Amino acid sequence: MYKLDEEKNIVKKTCVQVRKHEDNAWYIKFPESWAEGLSEVSDVWIIGKGLEKGINLYSPQQWEKMKLFFLKEKAVDEKRIRVLQRHLMAAAYETRIQNGEIHIPEMLIAYCEIKNEEAVLIKYERDGKVFYSVQNMSEAI
């Protein structure tokens, strides 16, 4: 779980609203300051499965680095790396931040087990890089 501790390098976490539009498309409504921060990095994001029932947000640059990592690591341990790569990349979608919202495919909502309208957006740093994850309330406690 992503607990607020030094080991995980959690910088900040906040509650976000996860809702459906009239057209039944799921979206996350970010707080204004978070939406601005994400938009400064990129208006296009890759959203996909994380670990521990989380949804990860990747900038295009982070996504490319991850693809290169998997290509490199397959030479070392193809079977194990292929399983991890499929988990993280097979259900990934490109999405945009618009009006402080980001759309989420329904299959990722089901994976994350968001059952009510609230989830937790977590910002953490590792090696000077910033990463984002969304988790249901019970996983993020």
- pLDDT tens, position by position, 94-132: 999 999 999 999 999 989 888 767 888 888 888 878 888
pLDDT tens sequence across 60-87: 999 999 888 888 877 677 788 888 888 8
Establish if 72 belongs to a structural domain.
Answer: no
Q: What is the pLDDT of residue 3?
A: 41
Say how far apart CA 4 and CA 12 lie, in whole Å: 8
Q: Which long-range contacts (CB under 8 A, 24 or more apart) does 104-108 make?
A: 104/18, 104/26, 104/27, 104/28, 104/47, 104/55, 105/26, 105/47, 106/26, 108/47, 108/48, 108/49, 108/55
Closest C-alpha among 13, 7, 6, 59 to residue 34? 13
Establish if 77 belongs to a structural domain.
Answer: no
Establish if 65 belongs to a structural domain.
Answer: no
Establish if 121 belongs to a structural domain.
Answer: yes
pTM: 0.80
Question: Using 50, 70 and 90 to split pLDDT, how confident is the model at 55?
Answer: very high
Kindly report the backbone phi and psi dihedral angles of residue 30, in degrees, each rounded to the nearest multiple of 5, phi listed first.
-85, 150
Domain count for the chain, please give it: 1
Domain residues for the domain of 104 are 10-60+89-140
CATH code for position 24: 3.40.1550.20
33 has pLDDT over 80 = yes
Establish if 67 belongs to a structural domain.
Answer: no
Establish if 133 belongs to a structural domain.
Answer: yes
Q: What is the pLDDT of residue 58?
A: 93
Establish if 106 belongs to a structural domain.
Answer: yes
Q: What is the pLDDT of residue 8?
A: 62
